[in-house]
Amino acid sequence: MGRGLNKVMIIGYLGRDPEMRYTPSGRPVTSFSVATSRTWTSAEGERREETEWFNIVAWGTLAEICKTHLSKNQQVYVEGRLQTRGWEDETGKKHFRTELVANEMILLGDRRRDQPHMDIEYGDEDNNEEGDYAF
């Protein structure tokens, strides 16, 4: 079987402040959401807009950096791969969630007031997840 490609790049705005947790082994994992929007003109000449929400997960050092430097309404570039995970709740119902597992993040636009005005780029070569986790 040949090699595949799973690479996602988005630019958007954080919908909420990042939340950081730790796996049972102590590895940090941070989650947040990013909204991207696109606009177009319909055949009738009306201007339309559509927003897509992405669930982002960052691991290890990148998780710590995202928690420290990101906040709601901030513009960000995130690069990584899509991953769908499934689990069963206490009633036996199956759930699925597709997430962008980040391996790179670049702050864009306005920064927090306490951050210097400069582009900050972070990558995490060691972003492999550990076992199951819950948010």
Residue, of 122 and 11, whose pLDDT is higher: 11
Handedness of CA 60, 108, 48, 18 (dihedral sign): positive
Q: Are 100 and 56 in contact (CB under 8 A)?
A: yes
CATH of region 8-123: 2.40.50.140
Q: Maximum Cα–Cα distance for the chain, whole Å? A: 56
> Distance (Å, rounded) from C-alpha 6 to C-alpha 24?
28
DSSP 3-state percent helix, strand, coil across the chain (nearest 5): 5, 50, 40
Structure tokens at 6: 């799973």
Tens of pLDDT, residue by residue over 59-100, are 999 999 999 999 999 999 999 999 999 999 999 999 999 999
- Residue 111 has what DSSP assignment? P
- By CB atoms closer than 10 A (0-12, 13-18, 19+), residue 10 is middle
Tell me what pLDDT residue 135 has.
35
Tens of pLDDT, residue by residue over 37-54, are 999 999 999 999 999 999
Rg (the chain; Cα; Å): 17
Structure tokens at 4: 């595949």
- Residue 112 has what DSSP assignment? P
pLDDT at 12 over 50: yes
Q: Are 37 and 44 in contact (CB under 8 A)?
A: no
Q: What band does 111 get if pLDDT is binned at 50, 70 and 90?
A: low
Tell me what pLDDT residue 1 has.
79
